[in-house]
Amino acid sequence: MSEDQILLKVEFGGGLELLFSNEKKHALTLPARVPADNSTSPAPSEKETKPLDIAYLIHWLRDHRLKERAELFMENDTVRPGILVLINDTDWELEGEGGYEIKDRDEIVFISTLHGG
Amino acid sequence: MSTSCGNPTVEKDALMPRRRKFDRTKTCIKCKDNQGNVTIRHAVYCKECFFPMLNQKFKRSLEPTINPIPDGPRKKNLYPPGNLLIAFSGGLGSTVLLDLVHKGYVASRKPREDADAAVRKKDPKNEMVWKEVHVCYVEVCGAFPAMRDRTEDVRRVVESYDGFKFVPLRVEDSFDTKWWESVGGKPDKGELRVDITNEDLILLPSSNATSPLSALHTYLSSLPAPTAIPTTLQTLTRLLLLHTARATSSSHFLFGTCLTSLSVSLVSLVAQGGGFNIKEEVQEDWGGEGGRQAVRIVRPLKDIVMKECAMYAWWRGLEVVGQEVWPDARQGIGGITKDFIVGLEKDYPSTVSTITRTCAKLAPKETPAGICTLCNRPAQGHVQDWKTRISIRSLSPSLASPQQPSLAPYLCYMCHTTLTSKSSKKPSSGSSSAGGEEGNEVPLPLWVGARVRRMEREEMRDKVKEFLLDKEEEEEGYAEPI
Ligand SMILES: [Zn+2]
Ligand SMILES: [Zn+2]
């Protein structure tokens, strides 16, 4: 694995996959350093950068994998309330939420709870 | 390793300033050993301790409701007087409920034997708690064009467990005499229709039979506002399920309503003027009149938040086939409330339980006057007023509608509102025509007619009794009902 790329797995559950072409599992390779403002279009090199984190991943998924209805996935720069995030099987609330720095071969799961009773 | 369950410090948090999502350490508060995997209302659990914790909350809600008379402090054997019915929607909560019931009360247990209580005491743990467990699903796709029928997805999930009997229904069965007969109803007198142009909801005998599906469509399209549709479908679904519970000799009937969705329904109930039934939204006994076995409706996930359900389903690898989001539902009161509660739960995880506890305290002190014929929940008012209303409106001639019985007095406030307000759709035609043209006649769910007729008969009996007892008063041409 080259040092400036990070390999990660993303999985969607609870019906969230329906927004992502009904694909539950996605294997991604993302740069280890990313624009600090979470912009995911090819960036001019002088932009301020940060290590790849969950906040960036959320924006990247919205811009490059989401097929429909972004408002069902994101709200106010993060995932919509009712979507849980697991980082290597652990609640992201224990891992620093959006600020968690993604390591090589991490597994990130997004689960929707909005399917009711 | 400590086994003390220790009430996690979730209850007395200061509310508004956002707290960290967990207190102090990331170590599991149960085993105090493993790194935590999930935070539930500020308490940290590891994956191993999460399952027993959830199961304990589930059993603590359910088991005290199983025996007809609640146990004292000493735990007795579980001995329900009938079978079990589970309402299954395919959604997250009922998916988790199905799994918890199966693991806790069905899997690896022997069929329940009809031994007497003395024998049963020996080893009840090995026997099923309920003799039979039915799982009922009500498909609502008939109400909406182009909605997918999920019955087969649901069947696959239910039948993946052994020991469950699947009962698939459709929401239009509410208007189907075949269904009504199958649950023990008598459609002999024919169905009733109602004229919805008039606030009194004049009752008319049914003329020509239509298919259940077109009856449903007529009924839904007569509703004054699209926001009334979700409420109406919920009521129809609930009553279909309740009659199924009775027909399957079930003494207990479980819903997979978790704390989060319970808060949503309580708040939207109050917003729609249903505050009188707030207690019933949590737990109720239905249909015990006339010496019949009442059906107890229990929501054993009521102390479990949506996040716990989602984690349980994910870690257990359960298939959540999902529940269609009804058109108009997101714009309706329910949808708006849901967005609000889910947002609140994310930022202030312990606030949501406060809502249900506060609502529980709002339960009315008034004794209900009667049972609403449509939703079958207690109707508000004084018994006297209720009876007066019924006898005046339905039997006495009145100027506006000579000899025409009306449905309005047999409805609770919320059902009446759902059917009538705001009739801006048909502004002029309403007040003048008492009769009701063909197009304004709306078929009623079959249980409504059955109840109206029974109440009319009872009212008639009372009248006759009065007549025999109070001849003088009757001769003056005015009879005070009871
Ligand atoms: Zn633990
Ligand atoms: Zn009602």
- Chain B neighbors of A24, CB-CB under 8 A: none
Residue numbers of A between 18 and 57 with CB closer than 8 Å to B = none
Q: Is the pLDDT of residue B468 over 80?
A: no
CA neighbor of B295 nearest in space, from B337, B232, B243: B243
Give residue B400's pLDDT.
45
Q: Is the dihedral of CA B356, B357, B360, B362 positive or negative?
A: negative
B464 burial (CB, 10 Å; 0-12 / 13-18 / 19+) is exposed
* Cβ count near B384 (within 10 Å): 12
- Chain B neighbors of A89, CB-CB under 8 A: 37, 47
CB contact under 8 A, B322 and A81: no
Span A17-30, pLDDT tens digits: 888 988 999 999 99
In chain A, where the domains are located: 5-112
Least confident span in B107-121, B173-187, B261-275: B107-121
In chain B, where the domains are located: 19-65, 66-472
CA neighbor of B175 nearest in space, from B253, B239, B87: B239
Give residue A5's pLDDT.
93
Give residue A98's pLDDT.
94
A94 touches chain B (CB under 8 A): yes
Q: Is the pLDDT of residue B64 over 60?
A: yes
CA neighbor of B307 nearest in space, from B96, B30, B40, B43: B40
Q: Is the pLDDT of residue A109 over 80?
A: yes
Please name the residue of chain B whose CA is at the shortest distance from the CA of residue A78.
B346
If pLDDT is split at 50, 70 and 90, which confidence band does B153 have? Answer: very high
CATH architecture of A5-112: Roll (3.10)
Give residue B474's pLDDT.
45
CA neighbor of B258 nearest in space, from B325, B151, B341, B318: B341
ipTM of the shown complex: 0.92
- Chain A neighbors of B22, CB-CB under 8 A: 93-94
A68 touches chain B (CB under 8 A): no
Mutate to test the interface with B, among A16, A92, A93 (most CBs of B within 10 A): A93
Span B328-362, pLDDT tens digits: 555 667 777 888 888 888 887 777 788 777 776 77
How many beta-carbon pairs under 8 angstroms link A with B?
A: 79
Give residue B241's pLDDT.
95
- Chain A neighbors of B339, CB-CB under 8 A: 81
- Rounded average pLDDT over B169-197: 85
Span B424-459, pLDDT tens digits: 444 444 333 334 445 678 889 999 988 888 777 777
Give residue B13's pLDDT.
43
Give residue B6's pLDDT.
46
Rounded to the nearest angstrom, the minimum Cα separation between B263 and chain A is: 12
Give residue B435's pLDDT.
41
Give residue B431's pLDDT.
38
Which of B39, B314, B342 lies nearest to residue A81, judging by beta carbons? B342
If pLDDT is split at 50, 70 and 90, which confidence band does B83 have? Answer: very high
Helix/strand number for chain B, H first, E second = 17, 13
Span A82-91, pLDDT tens digits: 899 999 999 9
Span from the CA of B7 to the centroid of ligand 1 (angstroms): 14
Which of A82, A93, A113 lies nearest to residue B39, judging by beta carbons? A93
If pLDDT is split at 50, 70 and 90, which confidence band does B205 have? Answer: confident
Give residue B363's pLDDT.
65
CB contact under 8 A, B314 and A93: no
Q: Is the pLDDT of residue B470 over 80?
A: no
Is residue A67 within 8 A of residue A21, CB to CB? The reply is yes
Q: Is the pLDDT of residue B16 over 80?
A: no
If pLDDT is split at 50, 70 and 90, which confidence band does A34 have? Answer: very high
Q: Is the pLDDT of residue B477 over 50?
A: no
Most confident range, picked from B29-38, B138-147, B217-226: B29-38
Give residue A84's pLDDT.
95
- Rounded average pLDDT over B41-51: 94
Give residue A65's pLDDT.
92
Higher pLDDT, B88 or B127: B88
If pLDDT is split at 50, 70 and 90, which confidence band does B125 have? Answer: low
Give residue B384's pLDDT.
54
If pLDDT is split at 50, 70 and 90, which confidence band does B71 have? Answer: low
Distances B75 to B72, B78, B245, B317, B371 between C-alpha atoms, Å: 7, 9, 27, 33, 34
Please name the residue of chain B whose CA is at the shortest distance from the CA of residue A113.
B310
Most confident range, picked from B102-111, B357-366, B383-392, B427-436: B102-111
Give residue B9's pLDDT.
45
With H, G, I as helix, E, B as strand and everything else as coil, classify residue B87.
Answer: strand
Span B219-231, pLDDT tens digits: 999 888 877 888 8
Span from the CA of A29 to the centroid of ligand 2 (angstroms): 57
* Straight-line distance from the first to the last Cα atom of chain B, in angstroms, rounded to the nearest whole number: 67
Average pLDDT, chain B: 78
Rounded to the nearest angstrom, the minimum Cα separation between B57 and chain A is: 17
If pLDDT is split at 50, 70 and 90, which confidence band does B40 have? Answer: very high
Percent of chain B with pLDDT over 90: 34
A90 touches chain B (CB under 8 A): yes
Span from the CA of B275 to the centroid of ligand 1 (angstroms): 40
If pLDDT is split at 50, 70 and 90, which confidence band does B290 have? Answer: confident
Span A2-14, pLDDT tens digits: 569 999 999 998 8
Distances A48 to A44, A56, A114 between C-alpha atoms, Å: 10, 13, 36
If pLDDT is split at 50, 70 and 90, which confidence band does B419 have? Answer: confident
Most confident range, picked from A18-27, B69-78, B107-116: A18-27
Give residue B197's pLDDT.
76
Largest CA-CA distance found in chain B, in angstroms, rounded: 85
Query: Taking the model in full, what pTM does it have?
Result: 0.83
Please name the residue of chain A whose CA is at the shortest distance from the CA of residue B95.
A117
CATH value of B66-472 in 3.40.50.620, 3.20.20.70, 3.30.360.10, 1.10.3720.10 = 3.40.50.620
B456 burial (CB, 10 Å; 0-12 / 13-18 / 19+) is middle
Give residue A50's pLDDT.
94
